[in-house]
């Protein structure tokens, strides 16, 4: 199975090509901004490095969130375009799934994925899907936990201050290689299907004017 995977959900953009379980090409860039613009050249680069074309692919995978609105939309749009152009399946992968793949040896610890929402809250996924949680209202850990995500340091520190058995992992940002491995399990039926649609936790900040949209301009008669 030949997979192309994309990610730009958080502060790293990455693309990878995986044949079966072997990653044969991967590029990544960490930056505060510009990930969306870098993604298409990355895809071209990893395909060239792997010496394959888009028509050789068996599927395309992409992270669906939660994360940056711009990064998610850019990665999803590009992934949809590639999959549609070559007629291949498109597979969605959550950020929590990709980060869990990065730390497969946590044993019996529960996996907590903590994503910074930049609003004094985090998007916390403890296994039942992400939800917004204020930092001062973190749930209690019922047992040992392993924390991933870009808010992992803050969450792990607060859990440790309560006396929880917490492992601060080094999995902070998703990698396209891990996205590909999760997608491969999804394609073989080991994980349930997940549509490649953005996973938003908060409602959109942009709202329609109270009076609705302005009417379209009248057609010219000349």
Dihedral pair phi/psi, residue 106, rounded to 5°: -90, 0
Residue 212 has pLDDT above 60, yes or no: no
| CA–CA distance, 129 with 115 (Å, rounded to integer) | 12
pTM score of the predicted model:
0.89
End-to-end CA distance of the chain: 59
Out of 10-24, 131-145, 163-177, 189-203, pick the least confident. Answer: 189-203
Residue 221 has pLDDT above 50, yes or no: no
In the chain, list all ranges with CATH 3.30.420.40: 2-95+173-187
| CA–CA distance, 169 with 146 (Å, rounded to integer) | 7
Q: Are 199 and 76 in contact (CB under 8 A)?
A: no
Q: What's the confidence (pLDDT) of residue 215? A: 55
Q: What's the confidence (pLDDT) of residue 105? A: 92
Residue with tokens 């999995």: 171
User: Residue 221, Cβ neighbours under 10 Å: how many?
Assistant: 4
Q: What is the pLDDT of residues 95-119, one digit of tens each?
A: 999 999 999 999 999 999 999 987 7
Q: Are 63 and 15 in contact (CB under 8 A)?
A: no
Q: What is the pLDDT of residues 141-184, one digit of tens each?
A: 999 999 999 999 999 999 999 999 999 999 999 999 999 999 99
The angle that helices 95-102 and 176-187 make with each other, rounded to 10 degrees, is 100
Structure tokens at 157: 């520190």
Residue 205 has pLDDT above 80, yes or no: no
Q: What's the confidence (pLDDT) of residue 31? A: 76
Q: What is the pLDDT of residues 23-60, one digit of tens each?
A: 999 999 987 778 788 999 999 999 999 999 999 999 99
Architecture of domain 2-95+173-187: 2-Layer Sandwich (3.30)
Residue 71 has pLDDT above 60, yes or no: yes
Mean pLDDT score, 115-142: 91
Residue 11 has pLDDT above 70, yes or no: yes
Mean pLDDT score, 197-214: 64
CB-based burial of residue 222 (10 Å sphere; 0-12 exposed, 13-18 middle, 19+ buried)? Answer: exposed
């Amino acid at each position: 199975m030949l997979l192309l995977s994309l990610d730009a959900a958080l502060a790293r953009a990455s693309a990878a090509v995986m044949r079966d379980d072997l990653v044969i090409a991967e590029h990544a860039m960490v930056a505060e901004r510009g990930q969306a613009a870098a993604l298409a050249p990355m895809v071209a680069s990893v395909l060239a490095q792997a010496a394959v074309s888009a028509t050789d692919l068996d599927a395309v995978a992409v992270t669906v969130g939660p994360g940056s609105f711009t990064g998610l939309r850019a990665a999803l749009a590009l992934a949809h375009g590639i999959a549609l152009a070559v007629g291949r399946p498109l597979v969605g992968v959550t950020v929590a799934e990709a980060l869990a793949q990065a730390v497969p040896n946590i044993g019996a610890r529960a996996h907590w994925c903590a994503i910074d929402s930049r609003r004094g809250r985090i998007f916390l996924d403890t296994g039942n899907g992400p939800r917004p949680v204020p930092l001062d209202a973190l749930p209690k850990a019922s047992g040992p936990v392993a924390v991933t995500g870009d808010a992992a340091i803050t969450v792990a520190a607060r859990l440790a201050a309560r006396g929880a058995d917490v492992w601060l992992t080094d999995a902070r940002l998703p990698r396209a290689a891990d996205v590909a491995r999760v997608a491969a399990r999804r394609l073989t039926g080991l994980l349930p299907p997940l549509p490649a649609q953005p996973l938003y936790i908060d409602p959109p900040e942009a709202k329609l004017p109270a009076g609705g949209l302005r009417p379209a301009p009248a057609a010219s008669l000349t």
